[in-house]
Amino acid sequence: MISAWTGRQIRAAEQPLLDAGHGDRLMATAAHGLANAVLRAVRETRGRVYGARLAVIAGSGNNGGDALFAAATLARKGMSTTAVLTSARSHPQALAAFEKAGGTVLRLAAGGDGAGAGADDSAAAAAGPFVTPDEAAALCSRADALIDGILGTGASGGLRSPAKELVERIIGLDAPALTVACDLPSGVSAETGEVSGPVMPADLTVTFGGTKAGLLTDPAAGLAGRVLTVDIGLGPHLPAPELRRLEPADLADWWPVPQRTSHKYTRGVLGIVAGSAQYPGAALLCTQAAAATGVGMIRYLGPQEICRLVNLSTPEAVCSQGSVGESRVQAWLVGPGATGDRDQQARVRDALASGLPVVADAGALDSLPSDLGPQVILTPHAGELVRILAEQDVEVTREQVEAAPSDFARLGAGLTGATVLLKGATTVISSPSGALFTQDNATPWLAAAGSGDTLAGILGALAATVQRDLLAEAGIAEPDHWAAVAAMAAAVHGIAGTEAAAGGPVAASDISRAVPETVRALLELRQDG
């Protein structure tokens, strides 16, 4: 499991070490980790390190300090290094080390508001000549590697002039062969992943002391590239993480595996209320997905015509037009394609009132009762979350949700009392108590009709069969169990979908077909064999 913390949490964890006088050591460790990561990446992209052109953009704070110290190390390895200082102030020891190692220093000429490396001539006296944003951008674009050390966890808001103009110009040119963000891409929030103004997209982000929550959340996740965390010894001082991400080993350890004495009822029965005359396909897709995920039995409830179709596509499902009250199940999946059918809507309402775990998708999201619990998992996309929030008297736009998905998933969960799985390039899951998981296992090819029905089926099957004592043993607090189950489903859906897509288009039913093989491969990772 990957744990991630807000910038504020990381800074608080650093404080006791800074108070004890270990600040220089922290920065040296961070810079060493950054330099090593750049070395490895340059070897991969270019082969030879000696003679490679390194450009560093350094801001006024410690983030610039990290970048300059790392560049000093890289200059000593034979890289041809140039630093562009965006402010009149820079970390004095780091700048001195950089110059001593033979690096070239340029100062970014002030923008319209008078800021920039030339604003304070006394502080910049030791530094080199001025360059315009255009000149500096051309130099950065030609580099074999570019380090973005403008802003780190001490920043507020987006880049200011003239760093802003420089980054805008770089984005307009060919990207450097390799862009490495120091701690985080400058201009993104380490707390929420929100992005303000222009941000240089990184191929690699080398982050210090602990993964920043914002780097694992959209939209920043889309700008951070691969995230590598450098340990600087904060471990004992770190609080409970702000956000977690499941890895294949977690899925393997927690996957519900039948025992020798298991039978269909003890494995878990999933009830499904899905499909209508208007949308029969959703019922077929989610039922197929649930069967492929592995469940003791599926009880499908719906109109006679859909029962017939479900029986044909998933003969294992037991289909009827019965009621929720007379169906014994461990969990319900309700809503896919169930819009506009009165009987189906009544079944959705009854399932939501049952107190059992319920995955509420699509049509079920429009008529939620007011007293939900964490065992109810809502699976909206951004537009559906806007409607759920509107029911709670919170007026937001889809764009606002997409700009800060973790904030709004958390708000939705808090207000409804349910667990919320917000679909997106990175899927965000929040428990009502605010525990966050994010999963980025999906491929963009999965953004297609029917993919959500498949996810709902996988999640429904897991909700019916998961052994929650395994989650408790892994340290997941009880109120967050259903968020972890939702994260498992998002991960498996993403992995199976990526396998099925194999770099090309994928039909939703192909995702289901790939699930058993995905689960088999995951189970091979089990520590207990």
Ligand X SMILES: NC(=O)C1=CN([C@@H]2O[C@H](COP(=O)(O)OP(=O)(O)OC[C@H]3O[C@@H](n4cnc5c(N)ncnc54)[C@H](OP(=O)(O)O)[C@@H]3O)[C@@H](O)[C@H]2O)[C@@H](O)CC1
- The closest alpha carbon to 523, from 295, 268, 253, belongs to 253
Helix (H, G, I), strand (E, B) or coil at 10: helix
Q: Which is nearer to ligand X, 20 or 312 (CB)?
A: 20
237 versus 468: smaller Cβ distance to ligand X: 237
Closest distance of CB 310 from ligand X, Å: 54
SS3 for 357-373 is CEEECHHHHHHCCCCCC
11 versus 46: smaller Cβ distance to ligand X: 11
Residue stretches of the annotated binding site for AMP: 423-427, 452
Residue nearer to ligand X on the CB measure, 101 or 464: 101
DSSP state of 115: -
CB of residue 24 to ligand X, shortest distance in Å? 9
- Report the partner that residue 431 touches, choosing among K ion, ligand X, none (CB closer than 5 to 8 A by kind): none
Query: CB-based contacts of 185: which residues, under 8 Å, 6+ apart?
Result: 148, 199, 200, 201, 202, 205, 220, 223, 224
Contact partner at residue 61 from ligand X, K ion, none, CB < 5 to 8 Å by partner kind: ligand X
To K ion, the closest distance from the beta carbon of 181 in angstroms equals: 5
Contact 464, 357 (CB under 8 A): yes
Closest CA to 306 of 330, 333, 286, 332: 286
Residue 133 makes CB contacts below 8 A (sequence gap 6+) with 108, 109, 111, 162, 165, 166, 168, 169
Please, what is the minimum distance in Å from the beta carbon of residue 69 to ligand X?
8
Q: Residues comprising the binding site? A: 62-66, 148, 152-158, 183, 186, 282, 337, 381, 423-427, 452-453
Binding at 156: pick from ligand X, K ion, none (beta carbon under 5-8 Å per type): ligand X
Residue 231 or residue 473: which is nearer to ligand X going by CB? 231
Which single residue brings its beta carbon nearest to K ion? 186
Token output for 97 = 């080390």
Residue ranges of the annotated binding site for (6S)-NADPHX are 62-66, 152-158, 183, 282, 337, 381, 453
Sheet with 376-378, edge to edge strand ranges = 211-212, 2-5, 243-245, 436-439, 427-430, 419-422, 376-378, 358-360, 331-334, 269-273, 297-301, 318-320
- Report the nearest approach of K ion to the CB of residue 103 (Å): 18
User: Which one of K ion, ligand X, none interacts with residue 30, CB within 5 to 8 A by kind?
Assistant: ligand X
Helices (H) and strands (E) in the chain, counts: 20, 20
Q: Quickly tell me which residue has 């674009």 as its tokens.
A: 141
Per the structure block, which two tokens stand in for 208? 């210090």
Q: Which does 232 bind (CB under 5 to 8 A by kind): ligand X, K ion, none?
A: ligand X
| Side chain identity, residue 30 | A
Q: Which is nearer to ligand X, 118 or 497 (CB)?
A: 118
Question: Which residues contact K ion (rule: CB under 5 A)?
Answer: 63, 148, 182, 186
Nearest approach, Cβ of 141 to ligand X (angstroms)?
A: 21
User: Which one of ligand X, K ion, none interacts with residue 153, CB within 5 to 8 A by kind?
Assistant: ligand X
- Does residue 425 sit in helix, strand or coil? coil
Distance between CA atoms of residues 81 and 65, nearest Å: 15
Which residues would be at the binding site for ligand X (CB under 6 A)? 14, 18, 23, 26-27, 30, 59-64, 66, 87, 151-160, 163, 182-183, 208, 232
In this complex, which beta carbon is closest to ligand X, that of residue 14 or of residue 250? 14
Only one residue has tokens 């990175």, namely 426
